[in-house]
Amino acid sequence: MSCLDSSIANIALPSIGARLINKAASIWVINAYQISDSRGVLRWPPWVRLSGYRRVSQCGMVVFTLASLGLRLLQFAAHTDIARVIQGLARPAS
């Protein structure tokens, strides 16, 4: 799922950059996800053991899907970065 999401974002990066005022800020759409994804990988294992794999996986998918919907609805670069951070934090759980 991580490879698919990163590939989709990299392919869509030129059109994302066209929508943003600051073209250089468009790279943070990718960086925000990758940084938060790597932080999430380190933080999720204790919670998974306590809460159960299935519950954490289902919650991670719901949060990731809601953040994806937020990406579609949001128009500003800062909001896009925040939604990508939420996706990155939720992805290791799913």
Mean pLDDT of 4-26: 74
At 13 the pLDDT is 77
CA–CA distance, 59 with 55 (Å, rounded to integer):
6
- Which of 35-44, 56-65, 82-91 has the weakest average pLDDT? 35-44
Q: Tokens 């794999």 label which residue? A: 53
Mean pLDDT on 70-83: 77
Q: Is the pLDDT at 29 greater than 70, yes or no? A: yes
Give the model confidence (pLDDT) of 59-76 as tens digits: 888 988 998 888 888 766
Rounded CA-CA distance 55/16 in Å is 33
- From first CA to last CA, the distance across the chain in angstroms is 9
Interior CA angle at 43 toward 89 and 4, to 5°? 40
The Cβ of residue 60 has, within 10 Å, a number of other Cβ atoms equal to 20
